Chain A
Amino acid sequence: MTYCFRDLLALEPLSADELSFILDQSKPFQEIQRNPLKKLATLRGKTVVLAFFENSTRTRLSFGTAASRLGADTMNLQAEASSLKKGETLLDTANNLNAMKPDCFVMRHSSSGAADFVARHLEIPVVNAGDGTHEHPSQGLLDALTIRDRKGTLRNLNITILGDIAHSRVARSNIHLLGKFGCRFTLCGPAMWVPREMEKIGPPGTPIRCVYRVEEALEDADVIIVLRVQTERLHEPSLSQNDYILLYQLNAERMRLAKPDALILHPGPINRGTEITPEVADGPQSAVLEQVTNGVSVRMAILYLLMVGASEGSAHPALAGKAEPPSKETAHASD
């Protein structure tokens, strides 16, 4: 079964089969990251806009690397340098970039729903690289890929998410994806960051509970997703950092409460010594750097699926050279 995607705006509307399909499509690209020569010609002649209206290093570089390894050119827009500072509206900026005839529009924006808004106005595929406190679909996918590789499955895992859940687009994408595979969620953090309404946002029937004691949250966890304490997205005075460390920091002592094989993820960038101690972040249970590597693979799959589309019956469509002219030379890594 193959699927077509017009845009990638959120994981919430996607089915378990569609999500598995995208993860499966990432596998061949994971292979490519291990090659000495990593560049394909699949998207040669195509242009990907990287419109980052909100600051980002990792996600922007990851999408940029994914595009270039597929042979595409990129157009970069960064918040500080953009004409948004001169008062141009998002729609005008998007229309202007679109007038340069790119083939895909990857965007990050501080407003929830901004990618949805732009997608309503553009004909080309739009990829949401993070919108406000709504979703971060590629992060949700790369987290799932990392978990599936390490745990062998996504089915029925106990997922603990620790930190500022209310303002986390990563947490929402994690819940929408992993919830479709029967995972159970424990959300933990200070009460103003863990609103009870979160218990009802998952796929129907998804067990989600909010707890306020980290000890309770770590018990039985298969996966612990530690969120960054992100002061830049807070609309209210944030919690005292000392209190946060005292009550919620993931440290070695607390890790003893979790399963011995519990996997630790963090979407980055890490505030070492705040939400997680260095020894835990760098320890054997941490998959933080694998997440980053998988990020490139997942984003290659996303760009590939949106700009070329999967070809039926091929396990490795991107590599099999079955697609349209741009991918004729894709059977081997070139350049």
Chain B
Amino acid sequence: MLLIRNGRVLDPASNTDAPRDILLKDGRIKEIAPAGKLSVDSGVETFDASGLIVAPGFIDMHVHLREPGQENSETIETGTLAAARGGFTAVCCMPNTRPVNDNASITRFIVDRAKVHGHVRVWPIGAASIGSKGEAISDIAAMREAGIVAVSDDGKPIATAKLARQIMDYCRSLELPVIEHAEDVSLAAGASMREGVASTRLGLPGMPAAAESVCVARDVQIAELTGARLHIAHLSAKSSLEQVRFAKQHGLHVTCEVTPHHFTLIDEDVTYDSRFKMNPPLAAREDREALLQGLADGTVDAISTDHAPHEPAIKDVEFDKAPFGILGFETALGLALEQLVHSGKIRLMRMVELFSSGPARVLGKERKLTAGEQADITIFSLDRPWTYRVKESASKSRNSPFDGRAFKGGPVATIVGGKIVHRA
């Protein structure tokens, strides 16, 4: 039993924004009542949430935990601890491990490891094609039995329009979303960052925005053809967002996510420091403006971190030789508060939705604070000052461009299945 007392409960599903006490029992929410109205035994463990926000458990639907295969960069244990510290109660791990999660035995390995070592829930995403090679469809139904919540060839796009069509058809029948890493690989080939004045000045090969939006256009049309649930991962370009908006207006089951780094940084921020290198790359100023608009107006369904740890030995090299990707868990909420809420761009309720009920809906799940629901809860502060020190990160890797950044507000406690898994 755990009593969360005196918090400001924010629940997008019921549009609640009020002082409430929440009693957790046996991994579920037992009761919610106006502050001070719950009668509980004096011996019950209590968490005083005075001055804090109590929200449905945050979900990060796009992460890389690197296990199996790249345990020098991250493991399920270290990654999920970093996730817990970031306020996340569940994470969806992408299948580009070594070997690729393209069959039920790998999925079971991840699920089993997570049960033993995971600090938060781990919901694997299966590879859409065998080895994510873009040739043949993987064992999607078997992986669904083992616990996947979506399919993706993340790291690269589903290779051809034909295969994308087959996978979307099949996944519609299996009721799984197809998550697309939208990229025209010929337009993006050799690029280290977004093409523009910054890339031209730095002499770094760039990819145009069209490298993403050409693929989004393809997939939106195939989603229309098949009626599948299509989710665009780490959407970064204005032109891509416009196509998602168009698809939604036409009633297609198309959703998208945006990362904190894309709504915070732009290509002009890039230096010859590979901690600014990720794919899709930091976009143009006008793209960021469009993403902020999309986060506000509902076009964007989720904030996902694309947490992509890389050990220093492979990341701390020449910019063009470094792999893509940066850490995301521990700075996501701080950045969202800073860039979206404190700046007045979106309401706090909307931000909570983007972290909880939004991604849940994309995955065909629910996230709400109601009696009987799983006791997954994120408690955070709106004003507590803190500074991110990457050397103190729970992640095994150090590749964050936000090292040393001062934040106002961030995660305070992360509760999974009624247990406090992290407390700041």
Contacts and interface: CB of A to CB of B under 8 A. Distances in A.
Nearest to A201: B201
Interface string A110-124: 011110110000000
B272 interface: yes
Interface residues of A, number: 25
Contacts of A169: 203
A61 to B, nearest CB: 24
Q: Which of B190, B201, B271, B313 has the most CB of A within 10 A?
A: B201
Interface stretch (B109-117, B215-223, B293-301, B314-322): B314-322
A200 interface: yes
Given A112-B272, A113-B272, A172 B318 contact: no
A201 B320 contact: no
Per DSSP, chain B at the interface is: loop
Nearest to A197: B200
A195 interface: yes
B204 to A, nearest CB: 5
B319 A117 contact: yes
B202 A111 contact: no
Interface in A116-136: 116-117, 131-135
Interface in B156-213: 189-190, 195-197, 199-205
A195 B200 contact: yes
Given A90-B318, A112-B272, 13 more contacts: A111-B319, A112-B203, A112-B320, A113-B204, A113-B319, A113-B320, A133-B205, A172-B201, A172-B203, A195-B200, A197-B195, A197-B199, A235-B189
Contact of B318 (A117, A133, A195, A235): A117
Nearest to B199: A197
B197 A197 contact: yes
Q: How many B residues are at the interface, by size bracket?
A: 20 to 34
Contacts of B189: 235
12 contacts: A89-B313, A91-B316, A91-B317, A111-B318, A112-B204, A113-B202, A116-B272, A132-B204, A133-B203, A133-B205, A197-B201, A235-B190
Nearest to A115: B272
A198 interface: yes
Contacts of B319: 111-113, 117
Given A91-B317, A117-B318, A135 B203 contact: yes
A90 B200 contact: no
Interface of A: 12, 89-91, 109, 111-114, 116-117, 131-135, 166, 169, 172, 195, 197-198, 200-201, 235
A112 B197 contact: no
B249 to A, nearest CB: 33
A166 B272 CA distance: 18
Contacts of A197: 195-197, 199-201
A114 B192 CA distance: 14
Contacts of A195: 200
Contact of B202 (A112, A117, A166, A198): A112
Contacts of B196: 197
Nearest to B318: A111
Q: Which of B196, B318, B319, B320 has the most CB of A within 10 A?
A: B318
A112 B196 CA distance: 16
Nearest to B312: A91
B236 to A, nearest CB: 18
A90 B189 CA distance: 23
A169 B197 CA distance: 15
A197 B199 CA distance: 9
